[in-house]
Amino acid sequence: MKHTSSLALFHEACELMPGGVNSPVRSFSSTHADCLYADHAYGSHIVDVDGNTYLDYIGSWGPMILGHAHPLLSGHLEEVIQKGISFGLCTAQEVELARLITDAYPGLSMVRMVNSGTEATMSAIRAARGFTGRDKIIKFEGCYHGHSDGLLVKSGSGALTFATPTSPGVPADVVKHTLVCSYNDLENVEAVIKANEQEIAAIILEPIAGNMGVVKADPQFLQGLRRLCDAHGIVLIFDEVISGFRVRYGGAAELYGIVPDMACFGKIIGAGLPVGAYGGRADIMKSVSPSGPVYQAGTLSGNPLAMHLGCRLLRYLKEHPETYTELEEKGAYLKEGMQTILQEMKMPYQLHQAGSLLTLFFTRQSVHSFADVQTCDVTLFERYFRYLYDHGILIAPSPYEAMFLSTAHTYEELDHTLQIMREALKQHI
């Protein structure tokens, strides 16, 4: 595939934006591939500015659960735009979306809209600190909770891809209250809590880690965290920016049957428009301004466009629970096909699936933590990615991200994907 127009745009962008992009992973630099500039998308496909068509497994990093340009969403913004795109005031759609989210998610009594997943996690942490009167928090190696200073410590996602788990520009005094534990290691958490008795405000984690690849929390680990938080007065926060409304309508909390004290959501609740939300128990959320003393605000929070599309998408998912069955089955089909190929070729691999999320790890080591993820063969992944990319299959340009399936992906397209994957691996055994 030729990327003449994409490359021209990228060279121009490099003069105007750091690294030529507005989010690091988009540069494709970790895979030494050409940066892709999208022109339009439909169903399971993206078409770039050079006219190349790709079978898309990025899905805007999660929210395109029904595929691109779905008629449920694509033709319904004009009526909102004609009324006005922003007021700086309350709208009825905010109330409806808040109701949909709180009704869907276990234990969620109140919710506050923000503009991104980063804002959601940052604000949830602040609320937990204000509510408990404590400063310290626990996060886990490889879990990415956005780019706010206090959470950008041993993170996943782009920070992991580019080997900068702690970013310059983050003062040591800011992160001194962030304690880092090993994912799926309850004994480690117990020891850290014991060493910081009555000082920890919150434990935040991705119950299905999607930013170091798809790494599921062990049920016993989550149960243990719930027990520890109850015993020590610690707020348990689930970051469901990726897993919320993806793996189940009620997110990972519904899947595992574990009710956190707070939860954070991202772009899927706006059907792909910039949006986020955090919520939780009423007593915690009532500490947030103007009900309480914990200040948090956002001029464009609850913007009408995102609220409108979010309501349409969540209503659809609520009314069509078979969506999740379909995605689970398609995910299992793709996983089984990939396993067959990898076993035939005697490749070192671990293959993780959580509903419509999949990650292939090129390692013989079982993957349960950040340390396990680091055993992966990133050079092999790079070659694998390049072959798929050159043959019209678009996965995340990072070994530490998920593949996202949608209802728009057909079984014929999954079979085609498997064929290209087989060819890619044959090239690099």
Contact 170, 149 (CB under 8 A): yes
Answer for the pair 106, 132: CB distance below 8 angstroms, yes or no.
Answer: no
Query: Does 34 qualify as catalytic in the annotation?
Result: no
Per-residue pLDDT, 150: 78
DSSP 220-289: HHHHHHHHHHHHHTPEEEEE-TTTBTTTBTTHHHHHHT---SEEEE-GGGGTTSS-EEEEE-HHHHTTBT
Cα separation, 182 vs 157, in Å, equals: 16
Q: What is the pLDDT of residue 429?
A: 60
Residue 204, beta-bridge partner list: 237
> How does pLDDT run across 204-223, given as a tens digit for each residue?
999 999 989 999 999 999 99
Residues of the chain with pLDDT under 70: 154-167, 429
Give the DSSP H or E segment for 45.
strand 45-48
User: Measured between alpha carbons, how far is 21 from 72 in angstroms, rounded to an integer?
Assistant: 30
pTM recorded for the entire structure? 0.94
Catalytic site residue from 185, 239, 261, 372 = 239
The dihedral sign for the CA sequence 375, 380, 386, 387: negative
First to last CA, the chain: 23
Which of 54, 57, 144, 249 is flagged as catalytic? 144
pLDDT score recorded for residue 165: 39
Q: What is the pLDDT of residue 157?
A: 45
Cβ partners under 8 Å of residue 145, min gap 6: 117, 118, 121, 139, 151, 155, 204, 206, 239, 264
Per-residue pLDDT at 171: 76
Q: How many angstroms separate the Cα of 366 from the Cα of each of 163, 198, 245, 308, 369?
A: 22, 35, 27, 42, 9
Give the rounded distance of the alpha carbon of 113 from its chain centre: 17
Q: Containing H/E element for 375? A: none
Write the DSSP assignment of 113-175 as a string of letters: EESSHHHHHHHHHHHHHHHHT--EEEEETT----S-GGG-SS--HHHHHTT-SS-TT--HHHH
- 418 near 425, Cβ under 8 Å? no
Q: Spell out the domains of the chain, with CATH numbers in brackets.
A: 4-69+321-427 (3.90.1150.10), 73-319 (3.40.640.10)
Q: Which of 136, 139, 267, 330 is catalytic?
A: 267
- Residue 136 contacts residue 177 (beta carbons within 8 Å): yes
Q: Return the pLDDT at 166.
A: 59
239 is catalytic: yes
Whether 267 is catalytic: yes
Contact 122/151 with Cβ under 8 angstroms?
A: yes
